[in-house]
A = this chain, B = another copy of it.
């Protein structure tokens, strides 16, 4: 199955998720709808709701609660984007002006808080303890991951293992929760639920690894034009960890100086970019991602074959091939 087919098959389901997303933005504070609409209509791919819908279907769910739950997971993700953009002082999000640059940091922080709260509020009304356990665990671990990432800025001693812990917490746990929730809705057997949890963790890790690889890949052939976001912010990601493990002492010395100084110029960026190309650090990161994608697929072994399961494979391949 191709991803285009998945989008087509789920068109109506995803439209139902969109309806939940816009419906629950209504508030006595119109600024909430404005900011929420701005970021939610900014071209997100709804990967998390998509995974939740497919996981529910693959586990045999036939009800209609997966629309609301999909929107809840997307609200949590959106809240984290609003706060991330304030933290990274981002001016662009998905090619559009970021919410903080249009509405200010204050509105982004507070509407982020609202979306977090509203997501949990809506989930609580489902009166399902297991759903609340999963969601409240995911949001807590996510925020720990975000703090870990902040604390690791400029830390060039960060190991690949520590980096994977950050990535698992800040990104993979919510994607895993989306897959898990589908199985919970379907009242699936424990082995199926565990399969979905593990599947989600591995595609979640792959998703972030590819993001981190693309941040350097996007700069290739653009010497002197633009400095990658992660380098600019001093975020130590897998391409850099790999590079530091393989580069020569003199190169390492300069790379460390660039990260420690914290204000890279285009010369610095060109140098890092050149090293990353020479030591094949983007490829290494992509290969690691691919390996997580394959592991993820194997986790689905216990789940009965179905078109929804095929679609989950298609989404996995889509994640591994995405260009941004």
Residues of A within 8 A of B (CB): 27-32, 80, 83, 86-87, 105-107, 109-114, 116-118, 120-121, 123-125, 127, 129, 132-133, 136-137, 139-140, 142-144, 146-148, 150-151, 165
A-B contact pairs, 19 of them (CB 8 A): A29-B147, A30-B151, A31-B147, A32-B147, A83-B110, A86-B109, A87-B106, A110-B146, A112-B113, A114-B143, A114-B147, A117-B136, A117-B139, A117-B140, A117-B142, A120-B120, A124-B132, A124-B133, A125-B133
Q: A124-B133, A127-B129 are in contact. Are A147 and B117 (CB under 8 A)?
A: no
Tell me the bound Cα distance from A120 to B28 in angstroms. Answer: 24
Given contacts A87-B109, A113-B116, A127-B129, 9 further A-B contacts (CB under 8 A): A32-B144, A87-B106, A107-B150, A109-B109, A117-B139, A117-B143, A120-B136, A124-B133, A124-B136
Copies in the complex: 2
Whether A121 and B136, one on each chain, are in contact in the complex, defined by CB atoms closer than 8 angstroms, is: yes
Q: Which residues of B contact A165 (CB under 8 A)?
A: 28
Main SS at interface, chain A: helix
Q: Which residues of B contact A146 (CB under 8 A)?
A: 110, 113
- Minimal beta-carbon separation of A266 from chain B (angstroms): 25
Q: Which residues of B contact A107 (CB under 8 A)?
A: 147, 150
Q: Which residues of B contact A116 (CB under 8 A)?
A: 113, 116-117, 143
Whether B106 and A118, one on each chain, are in contact in the complex, defined by CB atoms closer than 8 angstroms, is: no
Q: A124-B133, A136-B117, A139-B121 are in contact. Are A29 and B148 (CB under 8 A)?
A: yes
Q: A86-B109, A132-B132 are in contact. Are A29 and B120 (CB under 8 A)?
A: no
A134 closest partner in B (C-beta): B124
Whether B28 and A144, one on each chain, are in contact in the complex, defined by CB atoms closer than 8 angstroms, is: yes
Whether B121 and A151, one on each chain, are in contact in the complex, defined by CB atoms closer than 8 angstroms, is: no
Q: Which residues of B contact A123 (CB under 8 A)?
A: 136
Whether A140 and B127, one on each chain, are in contact in the complex, defined by CB atoms closer than 8 angstroms, is: no
Return the contact of A147 from the options B87, B110, B120 (Cβ within 8 A): B110
A142 closest partner in B (C-beta): B117
Q: A121-B136, A136-B120 are in contact. Are A27 and B110 (CB under 8 A)?
A: no
Q: Which residues of B contact A125 (CB under 8 A)?
A: 133
Tell me the bound Cα distance from A136 to B124 in angstroms. Answer: 7
- Minimal beta-carbon separation of A235 from chain B (angstroms): 12
- Minimal beta-carbon separation of A237 from chain B (angstroms): 17
